[in-house]
Structure 1
Amino acid sequence: MEKIPVVQDFSPSFRPDGKFHVRLTVGRFQNLRRLTSWPLIALYFGLVWVQYDGQPWLLFSFAQHRIILFGNALSWHELPLLAGLLIAGASLLFFLAVAWGRVWCGFACPQSIWTWLFIRIEDLSEGNAVKRARQAGQPLRGMRLVRRLAKHALWILLALATAATFTGYFVPIREIVAESLQFQLPVSVTGWLVIMAGITYINAGLVREKICLHACPYSRFQSVMFDDDTRTVSYDARRGEPRANLRKASANRGDCVDCGLCVQVCPVGIDIRDGLQAACIDCGACIDACDSVMEKVDRPQGLIRFASETELQGNKTRFLRLRLTGYGTVMLCAFASVLAGFIDTADLLVEIRRDRGAMFRQVDQNTVCNVYLVKVERVNEAIRRVDVSISGGGQYKLFGPRHIDLTDDGPSWLPYRVCSQNLERPKTELTFNFASESFSAEKKTTFLARSW
């Protein structure tokens, strides 16, 4: 299979002042992008404020050693579930990449979404791309200076709001707002907010496309994941070439009128007509711009479209293929495993350690005791107290707290002594039972009666 060429070096033609100014456009793919991104933005900024029964819907609490996920409390011991969720998400990303290219980057990636927000702020404050390019190089004074300062002020406000919201998923957002209004925000939280706001301001406002090209690893390994049947934003060179301006068109010219709009609307500043490029995020802006031009010059739309190399060569694209099926299978298995894990989460965490100083203690000729350290930690806040008992294959006596209050500040190790007169076997199985009004759990350990 012939590899799809990936252009690494690109030189946008719309750079009057040393940088390119992104021209906003309209069209079906831009509408689809907004339908995808705006709910994600609303979810990001709104979910941090949602509470259920006094608990945030989503909170990674380091102070309480809890993960609150949609009203359900998880312990740090269940962090592998989040790792599984990341694996499932990565599998979904790979599946989409093989099928439709970098559609995640163009329609749902936070870097792209925030880049478009910053571009729109720039367009509203300083004018459209044509105006900004025309004024490039002129002295920065008067209203132009005011507009520039207003743009950066709005960028900073959005960056601070983004940083505060992100921090609110680890520290309750209401605490952050209240302490900020009272100027009592801890230094650590203040420093974190400044760092996160600075990163957002730089990434989405100043470097933008460089993140997609140089910092994002996806742009580097996309050519490995793509195949000849991957549908990605492509220019139909067989139909468009030779390109020519309408005023200088010859009889054998292609449909491309060389207007340059596909370059002007690209948020990463590439020319899609140069072929598949590592910086392309498949946002579809060039498709909408080209379709609008084709409509005006009375040519069929789709000169730039989501198409595979197979389709551009005049053949039919295959959707079902081994690589795509493999990624889809891994994705479904990963999501199923994570779902099963979330259904079977623990409400109570129990840890038991044996006294390492002495494996067993001979009290008298007929009695042997083992010492254990027990730690009980509640995940479900409804569990306030548990009763402790033991069971096993012999006659055991338990010495230690029979009731554990779980409303105290944090769990602690409690000593227990278990004694037995059943010395026939050197090792037997012992079970600690923990029960409350509506919950029960058990933890197995061993009881040693004598050396092997």
Structure 2
Amino acid sequence: MSSEIPVRQIDPSSDTSDNNKNTGTVDLYASRKKIYVKEVKGFFQRIRNVSLTALMGMYFLFVWITVDGQPLIHFDLPAREFHLYGATFYPQDFILLSGMLIICAFGLFFITTLFGRVWCGYTCPQTVWTFIFMWVEERIEGSRNKRMKLDKSPRSMEKVAKKSAKHSAWLLIALATGVTFVGYFYPIRDLITDLFTFQANGWAYFWVAFFTAATYLNAGWLREQVCLYMCPYARFQSVMFDPNTRVVSYDPNRGEPRGSRKKGIEPSELGLGDCIDCGQCVQVCPTGIDIRDGLQYECIGCALCIDACDEVMDKMNYPRGLIRYTTENELEGKTSKLLRPRTFGYGLVLLLMIVAIAFTIATRVPAQLDVLRDRGALFSFNGDGRVENTYTLKVSNMSEIPQTFAISVSGMEGIRLLTEDTITVASSENRSLPTVVDVAPEDISESNNAIVFRLESQSDESLVLETESRFVGPTR
């Protein structure tokens, strides 16, 4: 960022232990302080509720949907088949996975240059599950003040009951998350039956337990620690920011100096800005920062502080937008540019990758032919005095139905096929077929000749496979 970073002098003895107060030293490690997030309602929270509902709905429902008896999404690792939205992919299609990962990466870069960490605030799985866990906590233990009071109170039946109910609810959500995740690799209906009848294999139990524990710990206990210290995106996001990036920001020109006042009094009469220093923006922040201190890498762009501040501004009859999505240039009274070289570059690469992957999928042939020439012998003469070459045809059927192919070979005068002229390949099967072809010596003009193997499907006229190989013969 081009603006200067404010520096604040801190008393070394103000936040240390009693022993360190006497020496003036500072601890390099500070224990985590629990963040009590206050519930807030508003425009951006409604957007998050919609995105959260949509994402959770897709996650928990897609695993149950089938198309023609096949799960909508199923990663069948033992069979090395990946079923996605009615299409089946195989390890040979790994390039598509690489392309999709590149699309996701540049999509994230493109969005970040425009709107900062908006992905983190609305669609990141860590955010989605954390907000669900916080909602459960709010319903069971009460408001922010009640939760703080409950944690400080001595152990009692009420405290034990509320804590037990909260953690039980968390574990149930985590268990549902773990079972659903494994259900994308192990058909969900079979998985649930096998789990409760103890017929599932050990790996199924392990992964269900692993993702249950991971969800419970990440969303229930670690929360903002994942965003601050474990997620690499928090560290490298700054390289994609510039003065035109629209992020959650506090307007110091309008808000400073801060100060409390009664409703109905104009801030100018007291020599104050619009910020009444209520601290609501800090109380609703899931990462515990004060947005008024400027842009910080801990900010996940969730906009809860915007909703909280707008609510206060409404009560004070002040205009909304003291905290808002804005850019550094706009805060300095300059004009912001939506399209700039960095944004254009990311967008162009993203568009090209989307077009390339879409074209690859649209033109993807549901079968594949590879021809391997026998390198153990260059050529041989058969009983008819003709020159023979030996090959192995490898046919992969990536369609959902068996395919029978008629085999032919061309490229040289008088070339003929001596072995089977048809091959049947079951769905998802890879078959190898030894094949011998021969040519009359007088028809061989070169020692190394190009030939073409052609496979035509007998059930689908449009499915034709051709692969070039080489025929080796004696030099005339």
Query: Same fold by TM (over 0.5)?
Result: yes
2:127 is matched with 112
Identity of aligned residues (%): 39
Does the aligned pair in 2 maintain the 1:4–1:228 contact within 8 Å? no
Give the 3-state SS of the residue equivalent to 2:270 in structure 1.
coil
**Structure 1 residues 178 and 377 mapped into 2: Cα distance closer, same or farther (>3 Å)?**
farther
Does the aligned pair in 1 maintain the 2:398–2:429 contact within 8 Å? no
- Residue 379 (structure 1) shift: 0.9
Does the aligned pair in 1 maintain the 2:401–2:426 contact within 8 Å? no
**Structure 1 residues 305 and 71 mapped into 2: Cα distance closer, same or farther (>3 Å)?**
same
Does the aligned pair in 1 maintain the 2:281–2:304 contact within 8 Å? yes
1:325 is matched with 344
Does the aligned pair in 1 maintain the 2:397–2:429 contact within 8 Å? no
Query: Which structure is richer in relative contact order (CA contacts within 8 A, separation 6 or more)?
Result: 1
Q: How far, CA to CA, are the matches of 2:67 and 2:475 in structure 1?
A: 54
Q: How far, CA to CA, are the matches of 1:298 and 1:287 in structure 2?
A: 16
2:448 to 402, 408, 427: 427
1:252 to 268, 271, 274: 271
Greater Rg by CA: 2
Give the 3-state SS of the residue equivalent to 1:136 in structure 2.
helix
Q: How far, CA to CA, are the matches of 1:391 and 1:48 in structure 2?
A: 48
Q: How far, CA to CA, are the matches of 2:174 and 2:223 in structure 1?
A: 14
2:52 to 37, 41, 57: 37
Does the aligned pair in 2 maintain the 1:6–1:277 contact within 8 Å? no
Q: How far, CA to CA, are the matches of 1:356 and 1:100 in structure 2?
A: 58
Q: How far, CA to CA, are the matches of 2:419 and 2:427 in structure 1?
A: 18
Moved more, 318-327 or 282-291: 318-327
1:443 corresponds to 2:467: yes
**Structure 1 residues 265 and 66 mapped into 2: Cα distance closer, same or farther (>3 Å)?**
same
Does the aligned pair in 1 maintain the 2:366–2:398 contact within 8 Å? yes
1:201 to 216, 239, 249: 216
1:307 corresponds to 2:326: yes
Aligned residues: CA RMSD: 2.5
- Residue 265 (structure 1) shift: 0.8
1:155 is matched with 170
1:271-420 map, 5 Å: 271-363=290-382, 366-407=385-426, 410-420=429-439
- Residue 18 (structure 1) shift: 3.3
2:25 is matched with none
1:229 corresponds to 2:250: no
1:168 corresponds to 2:183: yes
- Residue 6 (structure 1) shift: 10
2:198 is matched with 183
Does the aligned pair in 1 maintain the 2:40–2:308 contact within 8 Å? yes
1:68 is matched with 83
Give the 3-state SS of the residue equivalent to 2:430 in structure 1.
coil
Q: How far, CA to CA, are the matches of 1:337 and 1:171 in structure 2?
A: 31
- Residue 412 (structure 1) shift: 3.7
Does the aligned pair in 2 maintain the 1:366–1:423 contact within 8 Å? no
- Residue 336 (structure 1) shift: 0.9
**Structure 1 residues 378 and 237 mapped into 2: Cα distance closer, same or farther (>3 Å)?**
same
2:327 partner amino acid = S
**Structure 1 residues 79 and 6 mapped into 2: Cα distance closer, same or farther (>3 Å)?**
farther
Q: How far, CA to CA, are the matches of 1:42 and 1:262 in structure 2?
A: 30
Q: How far, CA to CA, are the matches of 1:245 and 1:441 in structure 2?
A: 78
2:255 is matched with 240
Does the aligned pair in 1 maintain the 2:425–2:431 contact within 8 Å? no
Does the aligned pair in 1 maintain the 2:129–2:219 contact within 8 Å? yes
**Structure 1 residues 4 and 51 mapped into 2: Cα distance closer, same or farther (>3 Å)?**
farther
Does the aligned pair in 2 maintain the 1:111–1:204 contact within 8 Å? yes
Deviation string 1:337-368 (CA, Å, 9 cap, x unpaired) is 11111101121122222223223234369422
- Residue 292 (structure 1) shift: 0.3
Deviation string 1:292-346 (CA, Å, 9 cap, x unpaired) is 0111112111110001111111222221212111111111111111111110112
Alignment gaps of 5+ in structure 2: 8-31
- Residue 393 (structure 1) shift: 2.3
2:118 partner amino acid = V
**Structure 1 residues 361 and 154 mapped into 2: Cα distance closer, same or farther (>3 Å)?**
farther
2:468 partner amino acid = K
1:282 partner amino acid = G
Give the 3-state SS of the residue equivalent to 2:2 in structure 1.
coil
1:293 partner amino acid = V
Q: How far, CA to CA, are the matches of 2:100 and 2:78 in structure 1?
A: 23
2:291 partner amino acid = I
Q: How far, CA to CA, are the matches of 2:68 and 2:197 in structure 1?
A: 27
Deviation string 1:105-162 (CA, Å, 9 cap, x unpaired) is 1011111111101111111122222111112232333122122112111111211211
Q: How far, CA to CA, are the matches of 1:192 and 1:394 in structure 2?
A: 60
**Structure 1 residues 329 and 408 mapped into 2: Cα distance closer, same or farther (>3 Å)?**
closer
TM-score by length of 2: 0.88
Q: How far, CA to CA, are the matches of 2:455 and 2:196 in structure 1?
A: 45
Moved more, 137-146 or 341-350: 137-146
Q: How far, CA to CA, are the matches of 1:137 and 1:91 in structure 2?
A: 46
Alignment gaps of 5+ in structure 1: 8-16
1:97 partner amino acid = T
State the aligned residue count: 446
1:22 to 13, 37, 53: 37
- Residue 240 (structure 1) shift: 1.0
**Structure 1 residues 252 and 336 mapped into 2: Cα distance closer, same or farther (>3 Å)?**
same
